[in-house]
Structure 1
């Protein structure tokens, strides 16, 4: 019995050796590789010989697989230091691929990427590591303090939108206040002379002039308030929705300003491969003779084709012979290195001056290569799957990537993170709420205007259209419009230049009694005085005319 299966645990292999042929035991295989940290490294001790001269992730993986499958091995370095790339001109392969095709090696254990071109001439096992292409770049210096850095928490379009909202709300509350009859009031008594205080008012005032409207909105935006208080429902709607708008804007600005002051903001000229392709100041390249170079050369994606044309035409050459050389060029500045993510992680964790830009450009894996038709491929694939399930490969990864003692000491790997300015996509909704509130206020103002015009038309015994036209003409006046004339009633029998004021006013019935108020301030009930009982002593009400008595100064 080689294993058992149950519903809870699935397959449990108790004798893995049963899957391997006993006839291949104790065979020595030639293993081709290439020196590359941390996969394969040559020890500095000159006294070491044979396989003991090498160490690294791939060497430990090879030991585990050899123990699992039971074979011996002899490690050799590839003569031309290449993984293997097809040359369209010579129509020949080089590097490790060439060695396997010519049967000068039985296995190739290295950071060798599985791709279509290589798979067409050699075989690969199941991948022992998954990865992708990343962009290695140098960490830039911190942003110097700027004079107007206080504006950074909000994007430029938000500042411009706020300016537009300020002007729009100021004009809206000015127009709405002029349309609404409830924003027109009698002037303060201290502003009138003695004669005007004793008589009916000749003018009404509106506090929301054009300048006062702008002052009201800027005062509330700055959280200082003003001495202007909306009286009408429509103007209160405008004020309320503007206060809500300022609450959200001020709160968002304050919160993001704190983030800008506490988070270290780094200057990164590029954020992803698309931005890298659109510029020409920063050079970028790949490893010479590697799968990354093949990826860009054979890609059908427009951005990657553009990047390949740039790399191919750039002089001096942007391609490097080793990862060490590429990392060195990155540290010198103005160069981005396109490399496989596993090597990128290894470099970033050991040098705080390096960082990864953007995400991965593709997805692929490392595999162990064999010649076409080799019987070792399936056996080694089974061994790799078992090592993955046991967590052995993850342990080896942590050993060589994280637990080597030379890891960069940075408090946070995302040190280059930055606080982003709030844009329309973040707080654009508050502008929508503001516009809806202004629309509602305008509708209410129109209703108030129509209701007041209808009431005045009935009182004045004139058509609704003429009343609305007269009110509208005054509402749209832009000059000398703080005050408006009061509506008076005069008749032809009254003295010229005087205004008829009843001797007594009849009040509603209170407790079954009718009350009358005299001009002298006395009042009584039951029967009206003679003057009030016979208003024709001055003139007939049917002869009343509606006139506008202008202000003394010609209003």
Structure 2
């Protein structure tokens, strides 16, 4: 349905019309400038554009430490820094203010020394207890230290609430990893091959485009070997399916919509690259053009064309099967497996192990200290 390159002859349905062997050509026949020069078209009965057909993105396997995903690495680093900074500030202010020093012996009015509950370790323990919303057995008494504690509690309230709100989504929603999101992404890489129907309007669009991105894509398609062009749309769809993510097919959006309603492995990537329409072709100066254009306009105004498209795209001949699968999967809550929350168990076991090591070190240190003191007592 295009002029053969060496000559100005047409083939396919356009040739049938030019040779007066047909009165009408009704198909997914795109209205183009070249075709409009040799045949007449009715007004478009369906609007469309060029888009990308590609395999659906692969589901990412659950991450062992998915519970860390609700917050970015920067936020985790800032939180750790804030925790240490607030703990040190609380320790310094508690040392500076006189209202945090207490009499260890209330019965003595003039004790030889005073005690301060907010040692560095206790300050660290107080702030981590607040962060984990567990509280602590010590509390600030001075206004300055209470101000630090109040601001820290406000900070932890917001952060914990934000973390909890995002945690469920990150643990239950399946992540998709798609290497391309648009035709521009295709043009920027060479790993994924892409092509179109040989001699069709889609190929002509890239061939005649003045846009640098589409010119680069056309040069890539022409130079790639083996050829990325196909003899039919069906062949292009099969190459996408068999390519396992290594091939994308550029075709008209209406055809893509029809395919992805029946093949759940495929999807449309990005939006439309242009805007055009399907029309009914007739020989030049056909007497039927005005009447058929009026009928098409009436069907559009009454919404009957939309009803017909919905029926044959999404209901008949296997249409809607992928939509049914999507609704079933979305209505079923995903249970959490060990792969989703296993990192929490790892952290728990790691913490228990570190606690045991610290306990052994404390025991050894205290034993050596007691042994040294007993040796000194024996000497004196």
Instruction: Give the TM-score normalised by structure 1.
Output: 0.52
Whole-angstrom CA distance in 2 between matches of 1:185 and 1:371: 100
Q: May I ask how many residue pairs the two structures share in their alignment?
A: 327
Q: Structure 2 residue aligned with 1:380, among 278, 284, 292?
A: 292
Name the structure 1 match of 2:81: 167
- 1:391/1:329 CA distance change after superposition, 3 Å: same
Name the structure 1 match of 2:315: 403
Residue pair 1:115, 1:291 contacting (<8 A) in 2 also: yes
Which runs of structure 2 are paired with 1:241-320 in the superposition (5 Å)? 241-320=151-230
Residue pair 1:138, 1:355 contacting (<8 A) in 2 also: yes
- 1:216/1:90 CA distance change after superposition, 3 Å: farther
Residue pair 1:133, 1:292 contacting (<8 A) in 2 also: yes
Residue pair 1:186, 1:203 contacting (<8 A) in 2 also: no
Whole-angstrom CA distance in 1 between matches of 2:59 and 2:248: 19
Whole-angstrom CA distance in 2 between matches of 1:233 and 1:101: 94
Structure 1 residue 137, shift from structure 2 partner: 1.7
Whole-angstrom CA distance in 1 between matches of 2:149 and 2:173: 36
Whole-angstrom CA distance in 2 between matches of 1:250 and 1:390: 55
Whole-angstrom CA distance in 2 between matches of 1:191 and 1:310: 86
Structure 1 residue 175, shift from structure 2 partner: 3.9
Q: Structure 1 residue aligned with 2:25, among 108, 129, 136?
A: 108
Residue pair 1:264, 1:416 contacting (<8 A) in 2 also: no
Query: Secondary structure, in 3 states, of the residue corresponding to 2:51?
Result: strand
Alignment gaps of 5+ in structure 2: 331-380
Whole-angstrom CA distance in 2 between matches of 1:255 and 1:184: 41
Name the structure 2 match of 1:136: 53
Whole-angstrom CA distance in 2 between matches of 1:191 and 1:372: 111
- 1:128/1:161 CA distance change after superposition, 3 Å: same
Residue pair 1:111, 1:366 contacting (<8 A) in 2 also: yes
Name the structure 2 match of 1:438: none
Whole-angstrom CA distance in 1 between matches of 2:150 and 2:202: 60
Whole-angstrom CA distance in 2 between matches of 1:200 and 1:367: 101
Higher strand share: 1
Where relative contact order (Cα < 8 A, 6+ residues apart) is larger, the structure is 2
Residue pair 1:185, 1:204 contacting (<8 A) in 2 also: no
Alignment gaps of 5+ in structure 1: 1-82, 418-555
Residue pair 1:271, 1:357 contacting (<8 A) in 2 also: yes
Higher helix share: 2
Name the structure 1 match of 2:305: 393
Structure 1 residue 173, shift from structure 2 partner: 5.9
Name the structure 2 match of 1:432: none
Query: Secondary structure, in 3 states, of the residue corresponding to 2:231?
Result: coil
Structure 1 residue 329, shift from structure 2 partner: 0.8
Which runs of structure 2 are paired with 1:203-242 in the superposition (5 Å)? 205=116, 207=118, 209=120, 212-242=122-152
Structure 1 residue 106, shift from structure 2 partner: 3.4
Structure 1 residue 314, shift from structure 2 partner: 1.3
Whole-angstrom CA distance in 2 between matches of 1:236 and 1:166: 21
Name the structure 1 match of 2:39: 122
Whole-angstrom CA distance in 2 between matches of 1:397 and 1:347: 13
Residue pair 1:264, 1:415 contacting (<8 A) in 2 also: no
Instruction: Give the TM-score normalised by structure 2.
Output: 0.72
